[in-house]
Amino acid sequence: MALEYDDFGRMAIDAKLSSQEKIGFDNKREESLIFPDISNKLRLGEASHILDIGCGCSKPAIDLIDFCKDKNKTLILVDNPNMLRNIEKHVTTHKNIFLVGGKFPEIKNKINQVSKKFDAIICYSILHHIIGMNYFKLSLLQINSKTISR
């Protein structure tokens, strides 16, 4: 059975699970290469406004947060509110990093309150969980006309 949005919300608050298990992976998955790969492919060094939909709470999300803090980038992280609680301690003191709890695309108005344009949109390892892919893609286009696709 495929995991869905509410399943991730339940897993996010399970104290027995590691950060990798909370996002649906086992502890054997090597995550240290994920952020460098994303950064290279999307040219995040050139981006000033970044949106991550389904960011999770494991190492790639923390690496992205640290990168955006260090480079003073605007970052919007979207996920289930329970999932975001696992990473909020990493963003509480930074004025350009925003947590938006809720299911995309239902929360796109909340996203637009922070930024209407993005230089990069990250949807890493979530597309296979999306029901209604055409609506999802159309919603991405509606929030941003400058989506980088690689």
Domain ranges of the chain: 1-6+48-150
Phi-psi group of 113: left, alpha or beta (phi > 0 → left; psi -120 to 50 → alpha; rest → beta): alpha
- Interval 58-70: pLDDT, tens: 999 999 999 999 9
Q: What is 1-6+48-150's CATH topology?
A: Rossmann fold (3.40.50)
* pTM for this predicted structure: 0.81
Q: In terms of DSSP bridges, do strands 120-122 and 97-101 run parallel, antiparallel, or are they unpaired? A: unpaired
- Interval 90-117: pLDDT, tens: 887 788 999 999 998 889 889 989 888 8
- Interval 16-44: pLDDT, tens: 999 888 888 877 777 888 898 899 888 88
